[in-house]
Every structure is written in C-alpha cells, then in structure tokens.
Amino acid sequence: MSTDETHTEKMKALQAEQKKKTAEARDPGRGLVLVHTGNGKGKSSSAFGVIARALGWGKRVGIVQFIKGKWITGERQFFAKFPEQVTWHTMGEGFTWDTQDKARDIAAAEAAFARACEMMASGDYDLVVLDEINIALRYDYLDIHAVIDGLKARDDRTSVILTGRDAKPELCDYADLVSEMQEVKHPFKAGIKAQRGIDF
C-alpha cells in the first residue's frame, strides 16, 4: 500500500471511531458544571463567550460576580442590552470597599452566594455564572461543602460555570469540565496596563 493509501485507511478508521463515540454519547438530562481556572487570562472572558452562545439560543442567564465594588466593564454594559434574558448581580453593591474589613467581605460573599443558590435552584435559568467564586473559596469566605451542596441543589435545566484561579480539588472532582488557563505570556508582565475592551 502507498503511504497515501495508508493515510486514507487510518483516517477512515479514526472517523469511524469518532462517529461511534458521538453516536454513543448521551445527553445527561441535566445542566453541566464547568470550572475555568489557572493563572492565564481567559477564565472570565471564556465564560462570557458561553453566555453569548446561550443568549443566541434564547436561553436565560444569571451572573453573580464575587468581586469587590462596582467596576464598569464592557461585558456588563453589553449584557445590560438583554434585560429579558440576563440577571446580573455583583457582590458588594451598596457597600463601601475602601476599608479592609474581612467580616464585611465574608458577609458580602455569603449574600452573593445566597443569591446564586436562589438562581441555581429556581429553574428560571439555563446558565448561571459564578465569576471569581474560586477566589472567595480560596480566602475561606465561602465553605467548599456549602458551594458543592448549592451546585447539587441546582435545577436540572441549569448549567453552572465557576471561574477564578486556584479552584479547590473538591470542586474539580464534582465538575463535569475543568479547564486550566495557562499563562504563556501576558502584557502586564511587560508593564502594559489593563486595556478597555480587552481586559475589562
């Protein structure tokens, strides 16, 4: 057999195998849990990309941001254009964050998580994004078992994306998907400041 023929045979076998896998793959009948972690850029922006996909299909999306303060971001301004489909909650709205106050941070994280649990259990959302929740977990502002219980109590229709560095192993064990962004190069390391429309 020529190398061309060998190649064709190989490709045919691969294709058949792939087709079989696709045919056998099942629908879980339940929303998935996705974790975006790692130290490279792309965790939140990838989640916002998935939101755009969901909105394209007419789905409903809830976003809870576990970050301090009330940053104006491109994504927030963009998704505000879809008030019928998007509910957005940022932790710490109404608080002042000028002081370093751990008890207040914990209270804010817990309040944001309570809101997230309502969204996940309500059956009103196809997708809930818990942006930077891994940071709240890393600082022990939230308990990992409480978070996993909240995920388990989600409505069947609801998928959840959790973002942030240093995802806890327990969360990764429970999740259906874990992607780790790896930093190869980042402009900040070259002294370039965060860019509107690229970073926020």
44 versus 158: smaller Cβ distance to Mg ion:
44
Q: Which does 110 bind (CB under 5 to 8 A by kind): ligand ATP, Mg ion, none?
A: none
Q: Find the shortest distance in angstroms from Cβ 78 to ligand ATP.
A: 13
Contact between 59 and 126 (Cβ < 8 Å) = yes
Contact between 51 and 129 (Cβ < 8 Å) = yes
Q: 94 in helix, strand or coil? A: coil
CA gap 18, 34 in Å, rounded: 23
- Site for ligand ATP, rule CB under 6 A: 39-45, 132, 163, 165, 181, 183, 186, 188, 194, 199-200
Q: Which does 74 bind (CB under 5 to 8 A by kind): Mg ion, ligand ATP, none?
A: none
Q: Which does 39 bind (CB under 5 to 8 A by kind): ligand ATP, Mg ion, none?
A: ligand ATP
Look at residues 135, 162, 138 and name the one whose alpha carbon lies nearest to residue 148: 162
124 versus 200: smaller Cβ distance to ligand ATP:
200
Q: Which does 181 bind (CB under 5 to 8 A by kind): Mg ion, ligand ATP, none?
A: ligand ATP
Task: Count CB atoms within 10 A of the CB of residue 147.
Answer: 23
User: Looking up tokens 């691969």, which residue turns up?
Assistant: 14
CA gap 109, 107 in Å, rounded: 6
Size of site (CB under 5 A) for Mg ion: 2
Q: Find the shortest distance in angstroms from Cβ 149 to ligand ATP.
A: 25
Look at residues 99, 105, 93 and name the one whose alpha carbon lies nearest to residue 136: 105
Residue list 3-62, contact with Mg ion (CB under 5 A): 43-44
43 versus 154: smaller Cβ distance to Mg ion:
43
118 versus 200: smaller Cβ distance to ligand ATP:
200
User: Does residue 90 belong to the site contacting Mg ion (CB under 5 A)?
Assistant: no
Q: Find the shortest distance in angstroms from Cβ 146 to ligand ATP.
A: 22
CA gap 103, 170 in Å, rounded: 25
Contact between 67 and 91 (Cβ < 8 Å) = yes
